[in-house]
Each structure stands twice: as C-alpha cells, then as structure tokens.
Structure 1
C-alpha cells in the first residue's frame, strides 16, 4: 500500500475516533449553535439553516487538517447538538483500517471521485440529522433488517466542492465485515 494511502486511511481512522468520542469543539464551532433556535424556525427555513450549520462544521474540519507523526488529524464538531440529531446513533468504535479501505475503494473505484488534495478525500462519520434519522426510523429503507449497531454512515465530499453525499454500510454482526449497500442522499431510495 502506498504511503499516501496509508496516511489517508490513518487520518480517516483518527477522524472517526475524534467524532466517536466527541472531541471538545473549538470556539465558534457549530456545536455551540443553539439547536432550539433552528427548531423554532418555520419549516421552510429549517433545512436552510441546518445546511448552513453543516457547511460550517465541514469547513472547520477541512481547515483543521494537519499531519502529525505521519498521520492526518482533523478536529471539528461532531454535529451532536444539531437540531433533530438522532439520540439512537450507536457509537461505532471498532472501525479498523480494513473498514476504511472498503469506503475508500468504493469512493475511488465505484463512484470514481477524483482526489481533491494530496491527502485524499474529505470523509467523516455522517453529521446530517436528516440522514441519521435512519437510527430512529422503524423503516430503515436500504438498511431494513439491520440493528442500529450494524449500520454505519460515512459522509464524503462529491466531485463538486462542498457538496456531500453518503455511503451506507451494514454488517451482519459485530464480528462481521462492513459492506457498502447504498450511496446517495436518502436512505429510503
């Protein structure tokens, strides 16, 4: 495996761990946004404000990328305070390098998205409450039949700058490998 690919995978693992444990946000981070403010907005404005909040978190993540000891690190908000965020999202703390290889292989070879920087792709655990609603929904759509702890969603920047989509992965059990079952902006497609 090439050194750059190893660095990218290690960076993705570190980013995932950062998001899983809920690293404290930087000042000005969207996590300081009062989700109750967005909740009080008229329905037609909620999505617009949520999209602005997501854009801010993603921008902070991209701007905070640094290489330390040969591994890429990034610190940004977890999105936990976004309005409507699922309270049933499992903490997936057993992702391994091979799991990120599945994600990267899918982005590179199935979706054929070109790398945007020397370090690779902007990928991270899904922040969007509208997608994470899968964990609250009885109708899990593409992940029907899977328990929450066996569903994982990774967001990735598409070929268009600052436009994100999602890769849906499932596993049969905690001891089973993750596999991609869907990509897109809706889990009910």
Structure 2
C-alpha cells in the first residue's frame, strides 16, 4: 500500500515565494551595481565646476547664464598662471586666465566648438591664447574681465549666437548647471 501524497501547507508556499522574490531582487540589484559604468564626475554639477575653479585664485571665471541653442555644458576647465605667483611646492596659485570649451550636442557638426577664455581686462600682454588666423573670434567685457570667445573646431565659424549671451561670475545664476 502506497501512502497518499501529503499536501504542502500554503504557508510554506508563501514563505518560498517571499524568499524567491527577495533573493531575485537582491541578485538584480547586485547585477545592476556590477554593470553600472561610472563616467566620472558630472560636468553640469555646480559643485564639480566650483571644485575645478578652486584650483587657483585670480581672475574669476565668467560663464554664460544660458547657453546658445545646440550647445552642451562646458568641459575642460583650465587656467594659466603667472610665473611669479607659484607656490613654494611649484603648484600655481594664481590664475592669469581661465578657459572652458563648449561643444555642440552630439559632437561637432553644424555648430563650432567654442573656447571661452577670461582674463583681467587691464592693458597688458594677453594671457589668453590669441586665436589663429583661421579661427573666428569675438571679444566682450564683463566687469573688469576681457573675454575672448573663439572657434575651437574646423568647419562652421559662426559665433553670432555668442555675441549676446548674458554672462555671470555667479555659478548659482548659471542655468545649465545643477
């Protein structure tokens, strides 16, 4: 005589379903962490931009309040330093000029990449690189600063959208940063 099949209580099935769901969720979460690519700091973060600009004192960075249509956030913030103003450890402490590059969305296509260089506007030898003869450039003033905006790519050289952008030194007013 064979014994009859014994029924598994429904509470056991419920417990098994809960354990399966929890283990499945944990594995899904772990797999997501393992395949997530860290692309580095967010270039549109106010904190990230402030940290990059804090590398030296001196001339303040002037940025567009709103970017012209078609442009992505600024990248590759840099500065040049006065030779006499180097710290004892050799690290530059004073920015004679600052520069940032704005690329069009999706890379360089119909719009030119634009470099924006800021320097003190008092008469002296320029700290910003002078655009080559093939580069179109415009100069604007913002307070005591002299800005040179020039094309940093081949192709279209139209900078007309940059002639009228509002400018600021206050990162909190820059609408394309978050």
Considering the TM-score relative to the shorter chain, is it more than 0.5? Answer: no
- More strand, by proportion: 2
TM-score normalized with structure 2 length:
0.26
- More helix, by proportion: 1
TM-score normalized with structure 1 length:
0.25
